[in-house]
């Protein structure tokens, strides 16, 4: 069994935030594979170009790359003061890899350049070191991180965000994707080493990373025939309504106040309201910014068009109706994957074979308000 699973969830559902929170308790090696021209956050990591390198068509390349990452982890923690508490050691790791959600570096600048340079140096050493093995670097990492949770089966999490990039091939003439080569390599990691790999994305296509392989797999190799036991994809993220206060409202005015309503649903809207309010922004400016963010989250990406008002496509229609009247999507089941990936739908279910995906739009004020504003203002939507 390869030590990896897929984490699926829509944009703004809190996937990246979940990883940041985990970094306060275990060692998280976070790498974002976002496209180079993307303006999204978190930004693309400097190590991404080396993970998606054209020479990654060779299994030995990923062996060297993972060995470099694991050796950097081992070097960092073995060089710490053993009397230092867990939280301080993890905080220094997060600052070094620019992962910590509460660090001093702006999230837009967290490109991990120093961490990447150290990984590349360890890759160079691994190549020239006699008898160097991936298992050896994993063992060194295991020994250096035992302080985190001696009895736990997971102390280090390698998280690859925007993991759909691994579905590409190293070159136009290659038939095998980055992921298939990567998967072969991580199968070489011995069990019980405290390492787990998480592939994170909005699209449920990456759930196919967890599909059971056929014995007729064209990329299968000796000793890999037959079914592979893999971890099921993870899609239930308990972040919905996370910002809602535990105390009930004391008046009708408090119940319907923007401060409370924006906290329902995806946590990003409540967090934006909180931070913008603390900065002293005007209420109407805050409301407008949140509803604009919600609108673009529902609308999703659009293709360039000659007209300034491109026609609404079917997934967008379901997206704008979803938070308002919640229509049944049974007759359009082929749209579930796209609604999750690009239009803020929540993933309800992924079948064991990953051939059936179900989504829905749970009730939340912010998306419903944004959808209502758009449907009211654009007469072409009626």
Angle between helices 267-278 and 283-299 (to 10 degrees): 150
* Residue in the structure block whose two tokens are 């999230």: 107
Using pLDDT thresholds of 50, 70 and 90, give the confidence band for residue 374: confident
| Predicted confidence (pLDDT) per residue in 253-263, tens digit | 999 999 999 99
Per-residue confidence (pLDDT) for residue 110, from 0 to 100: 58
| Predicted confidence (pLDDT) per residue in 279-335, tens digit | 999 999 999 999 999 999 999 876 655 455 667 888 888 889 888 888 877 666 678
Residues in the chain: 382
Q: Above 70 in pLDDT, residue 52? A: yes
| Predicted confidence (pLDDT) per residue in 179-217, tens digit | 888 988 998 999 989 999 999 988 766 655 544 433 333
| Predicted confidence (pLDDT) per residue in 5-23, tens digit | 888 888 878 788 788 888 9
- Residues with Cβ within 8 Å of residue 332, at least 6 apart in sequence: 314, 318
Q: What is the dihedral of CA 379, 302, 266, 287, to 10 degrees?
A: -50
What backbone torsions phi and psi does residue 199 show, to the nearest 5 degrees? -105, 115
Q: Work out the percent of the chain whose per-residue pLDDT is above 90.
A: 39
Q: Work out the percent of the chain whose per-residue pLDDT is above 70.
A: 83
Per-residue confidence (pLDDT) for residue 160, from 0 to 100: 94
């Amino acid at each position: 069994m390869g030590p990896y699973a897929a984490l699926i969830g829509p944009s703004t559902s809190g996937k990246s935030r979940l990883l940041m929170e985990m970094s306060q308790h275990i060692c998280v090696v976070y790498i974002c594979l976002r496209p180079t021209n993307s303006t999204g956050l978190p930004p693309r990591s400097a190590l991404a170009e080396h993970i998606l390198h054209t020479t990654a068509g060779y299994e030995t390349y990923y062996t060297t790359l993972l060995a470099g990452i694991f050796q950097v982890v081992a070097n960092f923690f073995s060089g710490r003061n053993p009397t230092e508490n867990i939280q301080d050691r993890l905080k220094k790791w997060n600052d070094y890899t620019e992962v910590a959600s509460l660090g001093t570096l702006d999230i837009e600048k967290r490109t991990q350049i120093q961490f990447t340079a150290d990984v590349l140096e360890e890759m160079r050493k691994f190549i020239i070191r006699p008898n160097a093995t991936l298992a050896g670097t994993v063992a060194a990492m295991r020994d250096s991180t035992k302080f985190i949770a001696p009895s736990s089966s997971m102390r280090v999490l390698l998280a690859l965000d925007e993991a759909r990039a691994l579905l590409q091939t190293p070159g136009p003439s290659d038939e095998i994707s980055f992921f298939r080569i990567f998967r072969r390599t991580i199968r070489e990691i011995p069990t019980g080493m405290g390492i787990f790999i998480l592939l994170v994305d909005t699209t449920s296509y990456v759930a196919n990373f967890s599909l059971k392989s056929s014995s007729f797999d064209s990329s299968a190799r000796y000793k890999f025939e037959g079914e592979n036991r893999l971890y099921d994809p993870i899609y239930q993220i308990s972040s919905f309504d996370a910002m809602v206060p535990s105390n009930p409202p004391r008046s009708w005015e408090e119940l319907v106040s923007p401060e409370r309503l924006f906290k329902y649903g995806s946590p990003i809207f409540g967090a934006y309201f909180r931070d913008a309010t603390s900065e002293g922004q005007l209420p109407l400016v805050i409301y407008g910014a949140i509803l604009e963010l919600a609108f673009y989250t529902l609308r999703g990406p659009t293709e360039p068009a000659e007209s300034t008002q491109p026609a609404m496509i079917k997934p967008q229609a379901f997206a704008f109706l979803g938070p308002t009247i919640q229509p049944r999507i049974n007759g359009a089941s082929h749209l579930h994957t796209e609604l999750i990936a690009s239009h803020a739908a929540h993933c309800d279910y992924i079948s064991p074979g990953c051939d059936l995906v179900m989504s829905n739009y749970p009730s939340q004020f912010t998306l419903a308000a944004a959808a209502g504003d758009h449907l009211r203002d654009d007469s072409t939507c009626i």
